[in-house]
A and B are shown apart, each in its own frame.
Chain A
Amino acid sequence: MNGILLETKNLTKIFESGFLRKTIIKAVDNVNLVLKESEVVSLAGQSGSGKTTLAKMILRILEPTSGKIIYKGKNIWRDLKSLKDLKWYWRNVHIIFQNPFSNFNPFYKIDRALRQALELIGVDPDSSEGKRLVKEALEVVGLRPDETLGKYPHQLSGGQLQRIMIARAWIVRPKLLLADEPVSMLDVSTRGKILELFLKLREAQKTTILFITHDFGLAYAVSDRILIMYKGKIIEEGPPDEVLFNPKHEYTKQLIESVPTLYRKWRFEL
């Protein structure tokens, strides 16, 4: 049985908008979730369900309205105060965003992202140890260092940039990796490779991975456990086969019926 890595307790985020007449949106509504060590979990839901808001709070870049997030016994919004604490947290909790190009600063060569990763773990990027780590990480993700290093983001494809982000994670060895739609902007024929690399990371480093996605096929293919989010709440949770093929909630049932399938054809009637 694996230990608990992170949990949220009654986590809520309310957005207010408007001046005279206030509109209140409960983006995340009383969410309790548990992520165990070395687990691959998918948080699946349609747009506007609150998945990204939840991820931002876990990443500690968006403050919750109420509730708490506990990582290794620490309430991250109360107990982490100094820059040192934050650095410690972000070394352990990483994110990979949807748009591979937004992960990189276009003015710098991609080497910078890897050098910063080395600095985060206290290794001098110019030392032989630093160079060895970069080479190893790039090889793990199937990139040749001589073809990748020294290039600018626009000189590489989306798939290559996402691989570099995974290489970065390989160097930093975070305990938790949040992946927000990591393959939705990539070509279908390269998605499998990227997903495989995430699973390789888990295999080798026991990383916990939280996929945030609207793609139920992806969630089904890679997860140990699936959480379905709807209007800020987690309405369903369990192993993929159970949640997706025997859903209990009416919303999930309807949703699953609308997901296009490859081997089965929909029937329409006039």
Chain B
Amino acid sequence: MEILKRLELRNVKAYYRLLIKNMEVYVKAVDGVSLEIRKGEILGLVGESGCGKSTLARVMLMNINPPLFFKGGSVILYTRSGKSLELSKLHKKELKYKVWGTHISIIPQEAMSALMPTLKIKKIAYDVLHSHNPDITLEETTSILTKRLAELGLPGYVVDRYPFELSGGMAQRTVIAISTLLNPEILIVDEPTSALDVSTQKLVIKTLWSLAAKGIVDSMIFITHDISIVRQIANRIAVMYAGKIMEVAPTEDIIFKPLHPYTKGLIESIVSLEPEVRKRGLRYIPGQPPNLINPPQGCRFVNRCLFAMDICRNREPPLMEISNGRLAACWLYAKR
């Protein structure tokens, strides 16, 4: 069966510009990332703070504002109707009116705070739909929203509530419902559960899973630092470190058979509520991520890697296909 793509990143670079002592320097937050997001998948994008995962989300949308600058590569979106849109060539205006919300949506961190406290939920949804379709009425919006809430297992009374009348978990799930009202092909969620208690966390995860399972969105990109959370619903996981993708593989492979030394260290550092973890004891990766203003010349993980070789210090490993469906950027797996 042919794999249908929905979004493709080709060697994209996005840097933050800083002025230090009147000298212009660039923080290479996303530095040569290639990645494809397929139809029907939930892709987990995991990494630690400062690795560039939220910046990569901006690049996927091409929502780039100073001090962030797009420094090369291309972002291509493939629509359901078979068109391909090169987002990196479109103007802000075109993106705003023709792409965002209709083909690709994002739920940023702390999204609940985007709900205007003085407007009822239905009015907020109306504002969203109205900006894409000037003919829509409030009644039509209410009926669309009620239907969508029911599909996602949320109570219908939410439409008549003010945001502050909803609990954190309910507000987050309402945001998810509203931002996908136009059935975009792609949904990006950035740390959707970080401020929530575990029981509400599970409900939010289930809501996201239903969005994908019911085909409301074709593909989802789930950005998080918490692998235990994303592994519950992701089909594939991409591991990011210091502005680069280190490994991409099906979820179970990442967890049970990680290839890249960084992925391995990261998985083993997780302290989850499981007997395996207590038996294994506490693990960690020594050292710190490199400074992205002046990253190391070779592999960016080289200073923390237990398997570092000479080549790792001199030449940067490309993201290579190691076996069917598994990619890793590590010289350990290069065929010579």
**Bound CA–CA A260/B283 (angstroms):** 19
Whether B17 sits at the interface, judged by CB under 8 Å, is no
| Chain A hits for B209, CB < 8 A | 268
Q: Across the interface, do A261 and B202 meet the contact criterion of CB distance under 8 Å?
A: no
Q: Interface residues of A: mostly helix, strand, loop or mixed? A: helix
B132 at the interface (CB under 8 A from A): no
A188 and B270 form a contact (CB under 8 A)? yes
Determine whether the beta carbon of A188 is less than 8 Å from that of B210: no
When C-beta atoms are compared, the residue in chain B nearest to A195 turns out to be B282
Asked whether B231 lies within 8 Å of A262 as measured between CB atoms, the reply is yes
* B48 and A187 form a contact (CB under 8 A): yes
Residues of A within 8 A of B276 (CB): 262-263
Q: Write out the residue numbers on chain B whose beta carbons fall within 8 Å of the beta carbon of A222.
A: 282
CB <8 Å contact, A263 and B199: no
The answer to whether A192 has its CB under 8 Å from any CB of chain B is yes
Contact B229 A260 (CB under 8 A): yes
B134: Cβ under 8 A from any A Cβ? no
| Smallest Cβ-Cβ distance to A266: which chain B residue | B232
Point out the residues of chain A lying under 8 angstroms from B202, CB to CB: 258, 260, 266
Shortest Cβ distance from A260 into B: residue:
B228
Interchain CB contact under 8 A, A240 and B278: yes
Partner of A47, one of B49, B197, B214: B197
A217 contacts B273, C-beta separation under 8 Å: yes
CB–CB B266/A215 < 8 A = no
Given A191-B269, A263-B255: A254 touches B199 (CB 8 Å cut-off): yes
Q: Does B284 contact A (CB under 8 A)?
A: yes
B residues 196-246 in Cβ contact with A at 8 Å: 197-199, 201-202, 205-206, 209-210, 213-214, 225-229, 231-233
- Asked if B324 is at the interface (CB within 8 A of a chain A CB), the reply is no
Using Cβ atoms and an 8 Å threshold, which residues of chain B touch A245? 275
Q: Which of A190, A218, A259, A270 contacts B285 (CB 8 A)?
A: A190
Interface pair A259/B49, CB less than 8 Å apart: no
CA distance A73 to B277 in the complex (A): 38
- B273 contact from A188, A192, A244, Cβ within 8 A: A244
- Check B271 for interface membership: any CB of A closer than 8 A: yes
Q: Are A196 and B284 in contact (CB under 8 A)?
A: yes
- B288 CB-CB contact with A under 8 Å: yes
Shortest CB distance B323–A (Å): 22
| A169-207 Cβ-contact flags toward B at 8 Å (1 or 0) | 000000000000000000111111101100100000000
Contact check, A258 vs B269: say whether CB atoms are below 8 A apart: no
Closest A residue by C-beta to B46: A188
Which one of A157, A192, A258 lies within 8 Å of B271 (CB-CB)? Answer: A192
Tell me whether A259 and B271 are in contact in the complex, defined as CB-CB below 8 angstroms, given that A188-B48, A189-B285 are known contacts: no
A268 to B207 alpha-carbon distance, docked (Å): 10
Picked from A196, A199, A260, A265, the residue with its CB within 8 Å of the CB of B226 is: A260
The reply to whether B255 and A188 form a contact with Cβ atoms under 8 Å apart is no
Contact B278 A261 (CB under 8 A): no
Residues of B within 8 A of A (CB): 48-49, 197-199, 201-202, 205-206, 209-210, 213-214, 225-229, 231-233, 255-256, 265-267, 269-278, 282-286, 288
10 A-B contacts, Cβ less than 8 Å apart? A188-B266, A188-B269, A192-B283, A192-B284, A220-B273, A220-B277, A258-B201, A260-B229, A262-B228, A268-B206
